[in-house]
Amino acid sequence: MTKVAVIFADGCEEVEGLSVVDVLRRLNVECDMVGLHSKEVDGDHHIKLTCDKVVDESLLDYDLVAFPGGMTGSANLRDDEKLRDLMVKRHEAGKWDAAMCAAPRALARYGVLKDAEFTCYPGIEEECEKYDPSAHFSERITVTDKEHKVLTSRGPVTAWAFAYAIAEALGVDTKQLKHGMLYDYLADNIKDSL
């Protein structure tokens, strides 16, 4: 069975992590909320999150690990050596890694963005490129780099696109859920409402 872990650190952008958990669980994909240091996480907007578990070696068993952004949350992910070591092992094993908003800077620091195409919150690409000049920045809403098994997205408003892209990268059919959640309606009509 396909398994995904979403890593929540203090200061995370709550909507970016919870959107992934929500969409994947609706699609019957096993998705664990994993706290960086504790099961209790205080999000960037002081929404208290209760995770299923804390980061440990089992991170190596997940098909995909996703990072929500948030400036403080992504810095906590970027600077955690235990998480870095696990993510490097995952990458070397050819597993999928995903990050959005400011969190691609964590993947860049770990060396996971080497030669990969990625996107992120505006301005964060400069930090990513300092860590790894071989990474290729794109302004697309989401970027799925199948060759390097890295999936990235821009920011809070792109959280649903990120969640669906994760499911699709794992081979899950999202068409029915997109329709049921009115995501396809939004995608078709967004330009009319601006």
Q: How many structural domains is the chain composed of?
A: 1
pLDDT at 71: 98
Listed as ranges, residues in the chain with pLDDT below 70 are: 191-194
Q: Which of 164, 176, 12 is nearest to 33 (CA)?
A: 12
State the burial class of residue 2 (Cβ atoms within 10 Å of its Cβ: 0-12, 13-18, 19+).
middle
Domain residue limits at 7: 3-193
Q: Is 51 helix (H, G, I), strand (E, B) or coil?
A: coil
Q: What is the CATH number of the domain that holds 42?
A: 3.40.50.880
The single-letter code of the amino acid at 174 is T
Supply the pLDDT for residue 184: 87
Burial of 26 from C-beta contacts in 10 A (0-12 / 13-18 / 19+): middle
Pairing of β 150-153 and β 142-145 = antiparallel
pTM above 0.85, yes or no: yes
| Residue 8 near residue 51 (C-beta atoms within 8 A) | yes
- Amino acid sitting at position 66: A
